[in-house]
Amino acid sequence: MAYISPALNVMVAAARKAGRPLIRDFGELENLQISMKGPADFVTTADKRTERILIEELTKARPGYGFLGEEGGVVEGKDKTHRFIIDPIDGTLNFMHGIPQFAISIGLEREGQLVSGVIYNPVTDDLFMAEKGHGAFLNDKRLRVAARKELGPSVIATGLPFMGKEGHARALAEMGTVMNATAGIRRMGAASLDLAYVAAGRFDGFWEHGLQPWDMAAGILLVKEAGGVITDMHGGEQMLAKGNVICANEHLHPQLLKLLKGVKL
């Protein structure tokens, strides 16, 4: 049975409340796909509304806590020791195209340390959660990272830069290198869920550049609490500051890190 602290309970409740309208929105997207205007404005509205609900619910239960969010940026709170890091819809492009691979992500920092995390896909009702020192769970099932020790049979996930973003050449070079050393690569389009899937043992590893703190805050804690190793691309602990991440189990992480460090552009 998952240990749910009062703070984590608040985060779960907020994610579920914010997710209910998204389920309805997701059902409407099929109609919008065939319109000339497309679903972009609709999704922007859903994104902002979801963040507003999250902030309202979390503030109601934890007044004074600060926020770092994709839409609202930094919101200073009276309580300088606590901060929620939230992504209302991670995987917006998937959501826009009616692909059910997106999530609400909420991380809680206490004195700069991640202590609680929730990643919730409202369409599949997958609720991933973690509490520092108490493990990671998917709907009350304890999670552990996969046990493979070699890259050969492994499936590794990654993310790719969007059109107009830098890093395309590096991404192609890294993918080519990893493709030649593993059973396969997956690009699912939502970093928070990629990290949650590593924690659940669905993926053996994951790496990505160009991420924001709200993309990975909750996922970092999930991977750690599921027994995984997660670092920045230099093997350090500056994932949120540097905007890149690499994770796997204790056997695969050093192998994957070495492989990617050796990529020549």
Residue 233 within any structural domain of the chain: yes
Could you tell me what percent of the chain has a pLDDT over 90?
81
For residues 230 and 255, membership in a common domain is answered with yes
With a cut of 80, say whether residue 42 has pLDDT above it. Answer: no
pLDDT score of 34? 47
83, 114, 142: which is the final residue of a domain?
Answer: 142
Mutual angle of helices 213-225 and 191-199, in 10-degree steps = 0
Count the domains in the chain: 2
Question: Which residue range forms the structural domain that includes residue 100?
Answer: 6-142
Sign of torsion over alpha carbons 114, 12, 16, 122: positive
Q: Tell me which residue has tokens 């890294």.
A: 174
Q: What are the tokens at 228? A: 């995984």
Residue 248 within any structural domain of the chain: yes
Confidence band, pLDDT 50/70/90 cuts, at residue 36:
very low
Residue 116 within any structural domain of the chain: yes
Predicted TM-score of the model (pTM):
0.94
138-197 pLDDT tens trace:
998 999 999 999 999 999 999 998 887 888 999 999 999 999 999 999 999 999 999 999
For residues 180 and 254, membership in a common domain is answered with yes
pLDDT score of 3? 74
Residue 1 within any structural domain of the chain: no
